[in-house]
Protein backbone atom coordinates (compact mmCIF):
# COMPACT_ATOMS: atom_id res chain seq x y z
CA UNK A 1 0.00 0.00 0.00
CA UNK A 2 3.01 2.32 -0.29
CA UNK A 3 1.55 3.66 -3.53
CA UNK A 4 -1.51 4.83 -1.62
CA UNK A 5 0.60 6.67 0.93
CA UNK A 6 2.60 8.34 -1.81
CA UNK A 7 -0.58 9.35 -3.61
CA UNK A 8 -1.91 11.09 -0.51
CA UNK A 9 1.23 13.12 -0.01
CA UNK A 10 1.71 14.44 -3.50
CA UNK A 11 -0.27 16.88 -5.63
CA UNK A 12 -1.18 15.38 -8.96
CA UNK A 13 -0.90 17.14 -12.27
CA UNK A 14 -3.85 19.11 -13.66
CA UNK A 15 -6.04 17.59 -16.33
CA UNK A 16 -6.78 19.53 -19.49
CA UNK A 17 -9.75 21.84 -19.21
CA UNK A 18 -12.77 20.85 -21.26
CA UNK A 19 -13.75 24.21 -22.65
CA UNK A 20 -12.03 27.17 -24.17
CA UNK A 21 -11.07 29.37 -21.27
CA UNK A 22 -13.58 27.68 -18.93
CA UNK A 23 -12.45 26.12 -15.68
CA UNK A 24 -14.45 23.04 -14.76
CA UNK A 25 -15.29 22.60 -11.06
CA UNK A 26 -12.78 20.27 -9.54
CA UNK A 27 -10.18 20.69 -12.31
CA UNK A 28 -6.67 20.50 -10.87
CA UNK A 29 -8.00 19.78 -7.37
CA UNK A 30 -6.39 17.02 -5.34
CA UNK A 31 -8.93 14.28 -4.80
CA UNK A 32 -8.08 14.05 -1.10
CA UNK A 33 -9.16 17.67 -0.69
CA UNK A 34 -12.47 16.69 -2.29
CA UNK A 35 -12.75 13.88 0.27
CA UNK A 36 -12.33 16.37 3.15
CA UNK A 37 -15.18 18.51 1.80
CA UNK A 38 -17.44 15.49 1.40
CA UNK A 39 -16.69 14.11 4.86
CA UNK A 40 -17.31 17.46 6.56
CA UNK A 41 -20.85 17.64 5.24
CA UNK A 42 -21.45 13.94 5.89
CA UNK A 43 -20.37 14.39 9.52
CA UNK A 44 -23.02 17.04 10.10
CA UNK A 45 -25.75 14.89 8.55
CA UNK A 46 -24.73 11.89 10.67
CA UNK A 47 -24.50 13.94 13.89
CA UNK A 48 -27.95 15.42 13.31
CA UNK A 49 -29.51 11.96 13.37
CA UNK A 50 -28.72 11.53 17.09
CA UNK A 51 -27.81 14.97 18.47
CA UNK A 52 -31.41 15.71 19.50
CA UNK A 53 -31.76 12.61 21.68
CA UNK A 54 -30.22 14.21 24.76
CA UNK A 55 -32.12 17.47 24.14
CA UNK A 56 -35.58 15.87 24.30
CA UNK A 57 -36.19 16.85 27.97
CA UNK A 58 -35.24 20.47 27.26
CA UNK A 59 -37.45 20.57 24.15
CA UNK A 60 -40.34 19.11 26.14
CA UNK A 61 -39.97 21.70 28.87
CA UNK A 62 -39.79 24.64 26.45
CA UNK A 63 -42.28 23.75 23.68
CA UNK A 64 -44.63 21.49 25.68
CA UNK A 65 -45.30 19.00 22.86
CA UNK A 66 -47.75 16.15 23.28
CA UNK A 67 -46.48 12.57 23.34
CA UNK A 68 -47.23 12.07 19.62
CA UNK A 69 -45.63 15.42 18.70
CA UNK A 70 -42.52 14.53 20.71
CA UNK A 71 -42.25 11.21 18.90
CA UNK A 72 -42.41 12.95 15.52
CA UNK A 73 -39.87 15.57 16.60
CA UNK A 74 -37.36 12.76 17.14
CA UNK A 75 -38.36 10.44 14.29
CA UNK A 76 -39.19 12.80 11.40
CA UNK A 77 -35.58 13.42 10.38
CA UNK A 78 -34.43 9.78 9.97
CA UNK A 79 -37.80 8.75 8.54
CA UNK A 80 -37.86 11.40 5.80
CA UNK A 81 -34.15 11.00 5.07
CA UNK A 82 -34.39 7.23 4.62
CA UNK A 83 -37.51 7.51 2.45
CA UNK A 84 -35.94 9.92 -0.04
CA UNK A 85 -32.46 8.43 -0.46
CA UNK A 86 -33.30 6.46 -3.61
CA UNK A 87 -35.24 9.40 -5.06
CA UNK A 88 -32.35 11.85 -4.78
CA UNK A 89 -29.62 9.26 -5.42
CA UNK A 90 -31.10 8.37 -8.78
CA UNK A 91 -31.91 12.01 -9.56
CA UNK A 92 -28.21 12.78 -9.12
CA UNK A 93 -27.39 10.14 -11.73
CA UNK A 94 -29.65 12.02 -14.16
CA UNK A 95 -28.89 15.71 -13.52
CA UNK A 96 -25.49 15.47 -11.77
CA UNK A 97 -24.65 14.62 -8.17
CA UNK A 98 -22.84 17.92 -7.53
CA UNK A 99 -25.97 19.92 -8.31
CA UNK A 100 -28.08 17.82 -5.94
CA UNK A 101 -25.40 17.98 -3.24
CA UNK A 102 -25.11 21.78 -3.32
CA UNK A 103 -28.87 22.21 -3.12
CA UNK A 104 -28.81 19.83 -0.14
CA UNK A 105 -26.21 22.02 1.58
CA UNK A 106 -28.40 25.12 1.19
CA UNK A 107 -31.57 23.37 2.35
CA UNK A 108 -29.84 21.79 5.35
CA UNK A 109 -28.52 25.17 6.54
CA UNK A 110 -31.89 26.90 6.09
CA UNK A 111 -33.80 24.12 7.86
CA UNK A 112 -31.30 24.18 10.74
CA UNK A 113 -32.00 27.88 11.30
CA UNK A 114 -35.76 27.26 11.36
CA UNK A 115 -35.36 24.32 13.76
CA UNK A 116 -33.12 26.25 16.16
CA UNK A 117 -35.70 28.99 16.67
CA UNK A 118 -38.89 26.93 16.23
CA UNK A 119 -41.64 28.51 18.38
CA UNK A 120 -44.00 25.52 18.30
CA UNK A 121 -43.76 21.73 18.03
CA UNK A 122 -45.37 21.82 14.57
CA UNK A 123 -42.68 24.17 13.23
CA UNK A 124 -39.93 22.01 14.73
CA UNK A 125 -41.42 18.87 13.15
CA UNK A 126 -41.61 20.59 9.74
CA UNK A 127 -38.01 21.83 10.08
CA UNK A 128 -36.84 18.33 10.99
CA UNK A 129 -38.60 17.05 7.87
CA UNK A 130 -36.74 19.60 5.72
CA UNK A 131 -33.49 18.53 7.39
CA UNK A 132 -34.33 14.98 6.32
CA UNK A 133 -34.81 16.14 2.72
CA UNK A 134 -31.44 17.90 2.80
CA UNK A 135 -29.77 14.88 4.35
CA UNK A 136 -31.21 12.61 1.65
CA UNK A 137 -29.65 14.88 -0.98
CA UNK A 138 -26.26 14.92 0.73
CA UNK A 139 -25.63 11.32 1.85
CA UNK A 140 -25.77 9.38 -1.45
CA UNK A 141 -24.16 12.26 -3.35
CA UNK A 142 -21.03 12.17 -1.16
CA UNK A 143 -20.52 8.46 -1.79
CA UNK A 144 -21.28 8.81 -5.50
CA UNK A 145 -18.71 11.61 -5.96
CA UNK A 146 -16.20 9.56 -3.97
CA UNK A 147 -16.72 6.69 -6.42
CA UNK A 148 -16.09 9.10 -9.26
CA UNK A 149 -12.91 10.79 -8.05
CA UNK A 150 -11.16 7.58 -6.87
CA UNK A 151 -11.14 5.24 -9.90
CA UNK A 152 -8.29 3.15 -8.52
CA UNK A 153 -9.82 0.58 -6.19
CA UNK A 154 -6.94 0.52 -3.72
CA UNK A 155 -7.00 4.28 -3.24
CA UNK A 156 -10.80 4.22 -3.16
CA UNK A 157 -10.62 1.63 -0.38
CA UNK A 158 -8.79 4.14 1.84
CA UNK A 159 -11.25 6.90 0.91
CA UNK A 160 -14.25 4.67 1.66
CA UNK A 161 -12.67 3.76 5.00
CA UNK A 162 -12.43 7.42 5.97
CA UNK A 163 -15.96 8.09 4.68
CA UNK A 164 -17.55 5.17 6.56
CA UNK A 165 -15.64 6.03 9.76
CA UNK A 166 -16.99 9.58 9.59
CA UNK A 167 -20.54 8.26 9.10
CA UNK A 168 -20.27 5.88 12.06
CA UNK A 169 -18.51 8.37 14.33
CA UNK A 170 -20.99 11.13 13.49
CA UNK A 171 -23.92 9.11 14.80
CA UNK A 172 -21.93 8.00 17.86
CA UNK A 173 -20.75 11.49 18.89
CA UNK A 174 -24.16 13.10 18.34
CA UNK A 175 -25.21 12.63 21.99
CA UNK A 176 -21.78 13.84 23.14
CA UNK A 177 -22.06 17.03 21.08
CA UNK A 178 -25.64 17.55 22.23
CA UNK A 179 -24.73 16.98 25.87
CA UNK A 180 -21.80 19.41 25.70
CA UNK A 181 -23.94 22.14 24.09
CA UNK A 182 -26.78 21.69 26.59
CA UNK A 183 -24.33 22.22 29.43
CA UNK A 184 -23.99 25.87 28.33
CA UNK A 185 -26.72 26.77 25.81
CA UNK A 186 -30.40 26.18 25.03
CA UNK A 187 -31.65 23.24 23.00
CA UNK A 188 -31.67 25.16 19.69
CA UNK A 189 -27.87 25.29 19.76
CA UNK A 190 -27.76 21.64 18.59
CA UNK A 191 -29.06 22.90 15.23
CA UNK A 192 -27.14 26.16 15.05
CA UNK A 193 -23.81 24.34 14.73
CA UNK A 194 -24.91 23.17 11.26
CA UNK A 195 -25.34 26.63 9.78
CA UNK A 196 -21.75 27.99 9.53
CA UNK A 197 -20.28 24.71 8.30
CA UNK A 198 -22.98 24.11 5.70
CA UNK A 199 -22.84 27.77 4.62
CA UNK A 200 -19.07 27.41 4.13
CA UNK A 201 -19.46 24.07 2.33
CA UNK A 202 -21.74 25.63 -0.30
CA UNK A 203 -19.19 27.95 -2.02
CA UNK A 204 -16.29 25.59 -1.33
CA UNK A 205 -18.21 22.67 -2.81
CA UNK A 206 -19.27 24.73 -5.83
CA UNK A 207 -15.61 25.55 -6.53
CA UNK A 208 -13.92 22.25 -5.70
CA UNK A 209 -16.34 19.40 -6.33
CA UNK A 210 -16.60 17.87 -9.81
CA UNK A 211 -19.87 17.40 -11.63
CA UNK A 212 -20.55 13.83 -12.59
CA UNK A 213 -20.98 12.88 -16.19
CA UNK A 214 -24.61 11.91 -16.60
CA UNK A 215 -24.33 8.14 -16.72
CA UNK A 216 -27.97 7.12 -17.01
CA UNK A 217 -29.78 7.45 -20.31
CA UNK A 218 -33.47 8.09 -20.74
CA UNK A 219 -35.89 10.21 -18.72
CA UNK A 220 -35.99 10.16 -14.94
CA UNK A 221 -38.84 7.95 -13.76
CA UNK A 222 -40.69 10.42 -11.52
CA UNK A 223 -43.54 8.02 -10.74
CA UNK A 224 -41.12 5.23 -9.89
CA UNK A 225 -39.11 7.53 -7.62
CA UNK A 226 -42.27 8.57 -5.75
CA UNK A 227 -43.36 4.94 -5.40
CA UNK A 228 -39.99 4.11 -3.85
CA UNK A 229 -40.17 7.12 -1.51
CA UNK A 230 -43.67 6.43 -0.21
CA UNK A 231 -43.02 2.69 -0.06
CA UNK A 232 -39.90 3.13 2.07
CA UNK A 233 -41.72 5.68 4.22
CA UNK A 234 -44.46 3.15 4.96
CA UNK A 235 -42.10 0.27 5.69
CA UNK A 236 -39.81 2.26 7.98
CA UNK A 237 -42.76 3.90 9.78
CA UNK A 238 -44.27 0.47 10.39
CA UNK A 239 -40.96 -0.86 11.69
CA UNK A 240 -40.64 2.10 14.06
CA UNK A 241 -44.17 1.52 15.36
CA UNK A 242 -43.32 -2.14 15.96
CA UNK A 243 -40.26 -1.04 17.92
CA UNK A 244 -42.54 1.07 20.13
CA UNK A 245 -44.55 -2.00 21.12
CA UNK A 246 -47.44 -1.44 18.69
CA UNK A 247 -46.88 -4.53 16.57
CA UNK A 248 -50.56 -5.53 16.32
CA UNK A 249 -52.05 -2.05 15.90
CA UNK A 250 -53.21 -0.53 12.59
CA UNK A 251 -50.53 2.17 12.99
CA UNK A 252 -47.96 -0.60 12.50
CA UNK A 253 -49.35 -3.05 9.95
CA UNK A 254 -51.18 -0.61 7.69
CA UNK A 255 -48.02 1.40 6.80
CA UNK A 256 -46.06 -1.85 6.51
CA UNK A 257 -48.61 -3.35 4.13
CA UNK A 258 -48.94 -0.22 2.01
CA UNK A 259 -45.17 0.23 1.88
CA UNK A 260 -44.57 -3.39 0.90
CA UNK A 261 -47.13 -3.13 -1.92
CA UNK A 262 -45.58 0.09 -3.26
CA UNK A 263 -42.04 -1.32 -3.16
CA UNK A 264 -43.21 -4.48 -4.94
CA UNK A 265 -44.85 -2.37 -7.66
CA UNK A 266 -41.68 -0.25 -7.86
CA UNK A 267 -39.50 -3.33 -8.42
CA UNK A 268 -41.84 -4.69 -11.11
CA UNK A 269 -41.90 -1.29 -12.82
CA UNK A 270 -38.09 -1.11 -12.87
CA UNK A 271 -37.83 -4.56 -14.42
CA UNK A 272 -40.09 -3.45 -17.29
CA UNK A 273 -38.48 -0.09 -18.03
CA UNK A 274 -35.70 0.21 -20.64
CA UNK A 275 -33.93 2.81 -18.46
CA UNK A 276 -34.65 1.86 -14.83
CA UNK A 277 -33.80 4.02 -11.84
CA UNK A 278 -32.09 1.02 -10.22
CA UNK A 279 -30.69 -1.91 -12.14
CA UNK A 280 -31.91 -4.84 -10.05
CA UNK A 281 -29.61 -7.05 -12.07
CA UNK A 282 -26.80 -5.41 -10.07
CA UNK A 283 -28.55 -6.25 -6.81
CA UNK A 284 -28.63 -9.92 -7.74
CA UNK A 285 -24.86 -10.05 -8.02
CA UNK A 286 -23.43 -11.85 -5.01
CA UNK A 287 -21.02 -9.09 -3.97
CA UNK A 288 -23.57 -6.26 -4.19
CA UNK A 289 -26.58 -8.04 -2.68
CA UNK A 290 -24.54 -9.63 0.11
CA UNK A 291 -22.93 -6.29 0.96
CA UNK A 292 -26.34 -4.62 1.25
CA UNK A 293 -27.63 -7.42 3.50
CA UNK A 294 -24.55 -7.24 5.71
CA UNK A 295 -24.98 -3.47 6.08
CA UNK A 296 -28.50 -4.05 7.41
CA UNK A 297 -27.25 -6.62 9.95
CA UNK A 298 -24.33 -4.45 11.05
CA UNK A 299 -26.39 -1.31 11.60
CA UNK A 300 -29.13 -3.36 13.26
CA UNK A 301 -26.63 -4.34 15.93
CA UNK A 302 -25.03 -0.88 16.14
CA UNK A 303 -28.18 1.19 16.60
CA UNK A 304 -30.08 -1.23 18.78
CA UNK A 305 -27.12 -1.73 21.11
CA UNK A 306 -26.28 1.98 21.20
CA UNK A 307 -29.82 2.83 22.30
CA UNK A 308 -29.84 0.19 25.04
CA UNK A 309 -26.27 1.03 26.11
CA UNK A 310 -27.20 4.70 26.53
CA UNK A 311 -30.14 3.71 28.76
CA UNK A 312 -27.91 1.39 30.77
CA UNK A 313 -25.24 4.03 31.33
CA UNK A 314 -27.71 6.73 32.34
CA UNK A 315 -30.47 4.85 34.18
CA UNK A 316 -28.57 1.95 35.75
CA UNK A 317 -25.16 3.53 36.36
CA UNK A 318 -26.53 7.05 36.85
CA UNK A 319 -24.24 8.86 34.38
CA UNK A 320 -25.18 12.24 32.91
CA UNK A 321 -25.74 12.65 29.14
CA UNK A 322 -22.27 14.18 28.77
CA UNK A 323 -20.65 11.43 30.84
CA UNK A 324 -22.53 8.86 28.74
CA UNK A 325 -21.19 10.40 25.55
CA UNK A 326 -17.65 10.34 26.95
CA UNK A 327 -18.02 6.72 28.02
CA UNK A 328 -19.02 5.81 24.44
CA UNK A 329 -16.08 7.76 22.98
CA UNK A 330 -13.74 4.71 22.80
CA UNK A 331 -16.20 3.17 20.33
CA UNK A 332 -15.78 6.19 18.05
CA UNK A 333 -11.99 6.19 18.34
CA UNK A 334 -11.82 2.49 17.51
CA UNK A 335 -14.11 3.04 14.50
CA UNK A 336 -11.81 5.77 13.19
CA UNK A 337 -8.80 3.49 13.60
CA UNK A 338 -10.55 0.68 11.72
CA UNK A 339 -11.50 3.06 8.91
CA UNK A 340 -7.92 4.23 8.50
CA UNK A 341 -6.56 0.68 8.56
CA UNK A 342 -9.35 -0.66 6.36
CA UNK A 343 -7.62 -0.31 2.99
CA UNK A 344 -4.58 -2.26 4.18
CA UNK A 345 -6.78 -4.93 5.77
CA UNK A 346 -8.83 -5.22 2.58
CA UNK A 347 -5.72 -5.68 0.43
CA UNK A 348 -4.31 -8.24 2.88
CA UNK A 349 -7.46 -10.22 3.72
CA UNK A 350 -9.87 -9.60 0.85
CA UNK A 351 -13.56 -8.67 1.22
CA UNK A 352 -14.79 -12.09 2.34
CA UNK A 353 -12.42 -12.57 5.27
CA UNK A 354 -12.48 -8.90 6.25
CA UNK A 355 -16.27 -8.63 6.56
CA UNK A 356 -16.56 -12.02 8.27
CA UNK A 357 -13.77 -11.06 10.69
CA UNK A 358 -15.53 -7.78 11.48
CA UNK A 359 -18.72 -9.65 12.34
CA UNK A 360 -16.85 -12.11 14.57
CA UNK A 361 -14.97 -9.35 16.43
CA UNK A 362 -18.25 -7.51 16.98
CA UNK A 363 -19.90 -10.69 18.27
CA UNK A 364 -16.99 -11.23 20.70
CA UNK A 365 -17.39 -7.63 21.91
CA UNK A 366 -21.12 -8.11 22.43
CA UNK A 367 -20.60 -11.35 24.35
CA UNK A 368 -17.97 -9.70 26.56
CA UNK A 369 -20.48 -6.99 27.50
CA UNK A 370 -22.76 -9.64 29.03
CA UNK A 371 -20.40 -9.35 32.01
CA UNK A 372 -21.81 -5.95 32.99
CA UNK A 373 -24.21 -5.68 35.93
CA UNK A 374 -25.76 -3.12 38.22
CA UNK A 375 -22.37 -1.77 39.26
CA UNK A 376 -19.94 0.11 37.05
CA UNK A 377 -17.13 -1.89 35.45
CA UNK A 378 -15.34 0.78 33.38
CA UNK A 379 -12.52 -1.50 32.21
CA UNK A 380 -14.92 -4.09 30.80
CA UNK A 381 -17.09 -1.41 29.18
CA UNK A 382 -14.16 0.37 27.55
CA UNK A 383 -12.69 -2.87 26.24
CA UNK A 384 -16.07 -4.00 24.91
CA UNK A 385 -16.73 -0.65 23.23
CA UNK A 386 -13.29 -0.64 21.60
CA UNK A 387 -13.85 -4.09 20.11
CA UNK A 388 -17.39 -3.10 19.15
CA UNK A 389 -16.28 0.03 17.29
CA UNK A 390 -13.42 -1.71 15.52
CA UNK A 391 -15.51 -4.71 14.47
CA UNK A 392 -18.50 -2.69 13.28
CA UNK A 393 -16.42 -0.29 11.23
CA UNK A 394 -14.38 -3.15 9.73
CA UNK A 395 -17.61 -4.76 8.55
CA UNK A 396 -19.14 -1.53 7.24
CA UNK A 397 -15.93 -0.66 5.42
CA UNK A 398 -15.74 -3.99 3.61
CA UNK A 399 -19.44 -3.87 2.70
CA UNK A 400 -19.48 -0.32 1.36
CA UNK A 401 -16.26 -0.81 -0.61
CA UNK A 402 -17.48 -4.05 -2.21
CA UNK A 403 -20.89 -2.57 -2.99
CA UNK A 404 -19.47 0.59 -4.53
CA UNK A 405 -16.89 -1.26 -6.62
CA UNK A 406 -19.53 -3.63 -7.97
CA UNK A 407 -21.85 -0.84 -9.15
CA UNK A 408 -21.59 0.45 -12.74
CA UNK A 409 -20.05 3.97 -12.84
CA UNK A 410 -23.16 5.57 -14.35
CA UNK A 411 -25.34 4.25 -11.52
CA UNK A 412 -23.14 5.13 -8.54
CA UNK A 413 -25.75 7.52 -7.14
CA UNK A 414 -28.44 4.86 -7.17
CA UNK A 415 -26.04 2.29 -5.72
CA UNK A 416 -25.03 4.69 -2.95
CA UNK A 417 -28.72 5.35 -2.24
CA UNK A 418 -29.38 1.62 -1.93
CA UNK A 419 -26.51 1.30 0.56
CA UNK A 420 -27.70 4.28 2.60
CA UNK A 421 -31.27 2.99 2.54
CA UNK A 422 -29.99 -0.34 3.87
CA UNK A 423 -28.25 1.60 6.65
CA UNK A 424 -31.44 3.44 7.61
CA UNK A 425 -33.58 0.32 7.32
CA UNK A 426 -31.14 -1.57 9.53
CA UNK A 427 -31.38 1.22 12.10
CA UNK A 428 -35.16 0.99 12.16
CA UNK A 429 -35.18 -2.80 12.36
CA UNK A 430 -32.51 -2.71 15.07
CA UNK A 431 -34.57 -0.46 17.32
CA UNK A 432 -37.73 -2.48 16.65
CA UNK A 433 -36.23 -5.97 16.99
CA UNK A 434 -33.77 -5.47 19.83
CA UNK A 435 -36.17 -3.11 21.58
CA UNK A 436 -38.86 -5.79 21.45
CA UNK A 437 -36.43 -8.41 22.78
CA UNK A 438 -35.45 -6.05 25.58
CA UNK A 439 -39.06 -5.34 26.53
CA UNK A 440 -39.99 -9.03 26.43
CA UNK A 441 -37.14 -9.88 28.82
CA UNK A 442 -37.60 -6.84 31.09
CA UNK A 443 -41.38 -6.61 31.55
CA UNK A 444 -42.18 -9.99 33.20
CA UNK A 445 -39.57 -9.50 35.91
CA UNK A 446 -40.97 -6.11 36.88
CA UNK A 447 -44.57 -7.34 36.92
CA UNK A 448 -43.56 -10.32 39.06
CA UNK A 449 -41.77 -8.01 41.49
CA UNK A 450 -44.86 -5.79 41.72
CA UNK A 451 -46.99 -8.82 42.60
CA UNK A 452 -44.53 -9.93 45.29
CA UNK A 453 -44.59 -6.44 46.79
CA UNK A 454 -48.42 -6.33 46.61
CA UNK A 455 -48.35 -2.97 44.83
CA UNK A 456 -51.71 -1.36 44.10
CA UNK A 457 -53.66 -1.34 40.80
CA UNK A 458 -51.77 -1.14 37.52
CA UNK A 459 -48.50 -0.15 39.15
CA UNK A 460 -46.68 -3.22 37.87
CA UNK A 461 -47.99 -2.78 34.32
CA UNK A 462 -46.95 0.88 34.24
CA UNK A 463 -43.48 0.10 35.59
CA UNK A 464 -42.99 -2.71 33.08
CA UNK A 465 -43.09 -0.34 30.07
CA UNK A 466 -39.55 0.97 30.57
CA UNK A 467 -36.94 1.51 33.25
CA UNK A 468 -37.58 5.26 33.17
CA UNK A 469 -41.29 4.71 33.90
CA UNK A 470 -40.41 2.25 36.66
CA UNK A 471 -38.29 4.94 38.32
CA UNK A 472 -41.21 7.39 38.10
CA UNK A 473 -43.59 4.87 39.68
CA UNK A 474 -41.04 4.10 42.40
CA UNK A 475 -40.68 7.81 43.12
CA UNK A 476 -44.44 8.16 43.61
CA UNK A 477 -44.55 5.14 45.90
CA UNK A 478 -41.65 6.31 48.04
CA UNK A 479 -40.26 4.53 51.08
CA UNK A 480 -39.34 0.87 51.18
CA UNK A 481 -41.83 -0.23 48.44
CA UNK A 482 -40.48 2.38 46.04
CA UNK A 483 -36.88 1.39 46.65
CA UNK A 484 -37.73 -2.31 46.26
CA UNK A 485 -39.45 -1.65 42.94
CA UNK A 486 -36.51 0.46 41.76
CA UNK A 487 -34.06 -2.33 42.61
CA UNK A 488 -36.21 -5.00 40.94
CA UNK A 489 -36.61 -2.88 37.77
CA UNK A 490 -32.87 -2.26 37.61
CA UNK A 491 -32.17 -5.99 37.97
CA UNK A 492 -34.75 -6.85 35.29
CA UNK A 493 -33.23 -4.29 32.93
CA UNK A 494 -29.77 -5.84 33.31
CA UNK A 495 -31.27 -9.28 32.65
CA UNK A 496 -32.99 -7.93 29.55
CA UNK A 497 -29.72 -6.35 28.45
CA UNK A 498 -27.95 -9.71 28.68
CA UNK A 499 -30.68 -11.45 26.62
CA UNK A 500 -30.53 -8.69 24.01
CA UNK A 501 -26.76 -9.00 23.77
CA UNK A 502 -27.03 -12.74 23.20
CA UNK A 503 -29.59 -12.22 20.41
CA UNK A 504 -27.31 -9.59 18.84
CA UNK A 505 -24.34 -11.96 18.97
CA UNK A 506 -26.37 -14.65 17.19
CA UNK A 507 -27.35 -12.19 14.43
CA UNK A 508 -23.74 -11.07 14.04
CA UNK A 509 -22.50 -14.65 13.71
CA UNK A 510 -25.18 -15.20 11.05
CA UNK A 511 -23.75 -12.15 9.26
CA UNK A 512 -20.30 -13.75 9.37
CA UNK A 513 -21.71 -16.78 7.57
CA UNK A 514 -23.49 -14.58 5.01
CA UNK A 515 -20.22 -12.76 4.31
CA UNK A 516 -18.79 -15.98 2.87
CA UNK A 517 -20.65 -15.12 -0.37
CA UNK A 518 -18.39 -12.10 -0.92
CA UNK A 519 -15.37 -12.31 -3.27
CA UNK A 520 -12.25 -13.84 -1.78
CA UNK A 521 -9.90 -11.17 -3.14
CA UNK A 522 -10.31 -7.56 -4.19
CA UNK A 523 -9.84 -6.89 -7.91
CA UNK A 524 -7.86 -3.67 -8.22
CA UNK A 525 -8.67 -3.45 -11.90
CA UNK A 526 -12.44 -3.49 -11.33
CA UNK A 527 -12.97 0.25 -11.75
CA UNK A 528 -10.73 0.49 -14.75
CA UNK A 529 -12.51 -2.40 -16.48
CA UNK A 530 -15.88 -0.76 -15.91
CA UNK A 531 -14.49 2.49 -17.25
CA UNK A 532 -13.39 0.79 -20.43
CA UNK A 533 -16.83 -0.76 -20.86
CA UNK A 534 -18.60 2.56 -20.33
CA UNK A 535 -16.31 4.37 -22.76
CA UNK A 536 -15.84 7.45 -20.56
CA UNK A 537 -13.54 8.44 -17.67
CA UNK A 538 -14.89 7.98 -14.16
CA UNK A 539 -13.30 11.12 -12.77
CA UNK A 540 -13.67 13.67 -15.51
CA UNK A 541 -12.41 17.04 -14.38
CA UNK A 542 -10.60 15.73 -11.31
CA UNK A 543 -6.90 15.32 -10.72
CA UNK A 544 -5.69 11.79 -11.33
CA UNK A 545 -2.68 10.06 -9.79
Domain end position, chosen among 235, 252, 276: 276
Task: Report CA-CA distances (Å) from 475 to 7, 448, 450.
Answer: 62, 19, 14
One domain, residues 339 and 482: yes
One domain, residues 234 and 208: no
Domain end position, chosen among 190, 214, 238: 214
Q: Give the closest residue to 150 by CA, choosing from 505, 400, 370, 360.
A: 400
One domain, residues 268 and 289: no
One domain, residues 114 and 234: no
Residue 434 inside a domain? The answer is yes
- What is the overall mean pLDDT for the chain? 75
The CA radius of gyration of the chain, in Å to the nearest whole number, is 24
H helical segments located in 183-285: 189-192, 194-208, 222-243, 250-272, 280-283
Task: Please state the pTM of the whole predicted model.
Answer: 0.70
Average pLDDT of 383-400? 87
One domain, residues 271 and 329: no
Q: In this predicted structure, what is the pLDDT of residue 163?
A: 78
Q: In this predicted structure, what is the pLDDT of residue 543?
A: 34
One domain, residues 244 and 333: no
Checking if the pLDDT of 390 tops 80, the result is: yes
Instruction: Domain count for the chain, please give it.
Output: 3
Residue 538 inside a domain? The answer is no
For residues 29 and 208, the answer to whether their CB atoms sit within 8 Å is: yes
One domain, residues 465 and 379: yes
**pLDDT of 440-451, one tens digit each?**
788 888 888 777
Q: How confident is the model at residue 409 (pLDDT cuts 50, 70, 90)?
A: low
- Stretch among 105-109, 204-208, 428-432, 486-490 having the lowest mean pLDDT: 428-432
Q: In this predicted structure, what is the pLDDT of residue 361?
A: 93
One domain, residues 229 and 297: no
Looking at beta carbons, which pairs linking 528-535 to residues 24 or more positions away fall under 8 Å?
Answer: 528/151, 528/152, 530/408, 530/409, 531/151, 531/409, 534/215, 534/408, 534/409, 534/410
Checking if the pLDDT of 535 tops 60, the result is: no
Checking if the pLDDT of 12 tops 60, the result is: no
Residue 192 inside a domain? The answer is yes
Residue 411 inside a domain? The answer is yes
Residue 4 inside a domain? The answer is no
Choose between 55 and 524: higher pLDDT: 55
Domain end position, chosen among 206, 241, 276: 276
Checking if the pLDDT of 15 tops 50, the result is: no
Checking if the pLDDT of 249 tops 60, the result is: yes
Checking if the pLDDT of 89 tops 90, the result is: no
Checking if the pLDDT of 355 tops 80, the result is: yes
Q: How confident is the model at residue 364 (pLDDT cuts 50, 70, 90)?
A: very high
Residue 84 inside a domain? The answer is yes
One domain, residues 247 and 392: no
Checking if the pLDDT of 369 tops 70, the result is: yes
Checking if the pLDDT of 516 tops 80, the result is: yes
Domain interval for residue 41: 25-214
Q: Tell me, what CATH number does 133's domain have?
A: 1.20.1250.20
Checking if the pLDDT of 135 tops 70, the result is: yes
Q: In this predicted structure, what is the pLDDT of residue 2?
A: 35
- Stretch among 11-20, 72-81, 462-471 having the lowest mean pLDDT: 11-20
- Stretch among 100-114, 371-385, 470-484, 512-526 having the lowest mean pLDDT: 512-526
Q: In this predicted structure, what is the pLDDT of residue 243?
A: 56
Highest mean pLDDT (candidates 159-163, 383-387, 446-450, 483-487):
383-387
CA angle 124, 52, 425 (to 5 degrees): 95
Q: In this predicted structure, what is the pLDDT of residue 256?
A: 81
Average pLDDT of 19-34? 52
Q: How confident is the model at residue 316 (pLDDT cuts 50, 70, 90)?
A: confident
Torsion angle in degrees (nearest 10) through CA of 93, 97, 100, 102: 180
One domain, residues 319 and 414: yes
Question: Phi-psi bin for 536: left (phi > 0), alpha (psi -120 to 50), beta?
Answer: beta
Checking if the pLDDT of 413 tops 50, the result is: yes
Residue 539 inside a domain? The answer is no
Residue 82 inside a domain? The answer is yes
Q: In this predicted structure, what is the pLDDT of residue 434?
A: 77
One domain, residues 341 and 313: yes
One domain, residues 45 and 192: yes
Q: In this predicted structure, what is the pLDDT of residue 50?
A: 67
Amino acid sequence: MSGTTTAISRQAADVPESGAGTRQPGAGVNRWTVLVVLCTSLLLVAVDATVLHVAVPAVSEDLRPGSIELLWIVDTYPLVCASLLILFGTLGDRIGTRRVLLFGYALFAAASAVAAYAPTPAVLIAARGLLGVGGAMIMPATLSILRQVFPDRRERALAVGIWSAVAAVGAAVGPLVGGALLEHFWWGSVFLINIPLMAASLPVGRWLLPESAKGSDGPWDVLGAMMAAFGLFGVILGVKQAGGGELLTPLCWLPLLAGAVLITLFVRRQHRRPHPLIDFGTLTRAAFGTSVGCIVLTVLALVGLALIAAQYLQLVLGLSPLQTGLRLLPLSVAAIAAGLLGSRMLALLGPRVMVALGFVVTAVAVLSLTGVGQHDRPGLLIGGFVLLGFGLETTLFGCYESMLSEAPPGQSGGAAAVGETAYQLGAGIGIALLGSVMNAAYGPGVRAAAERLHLPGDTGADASHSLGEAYEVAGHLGGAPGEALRSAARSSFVTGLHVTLLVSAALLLFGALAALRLPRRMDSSCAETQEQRSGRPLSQGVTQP
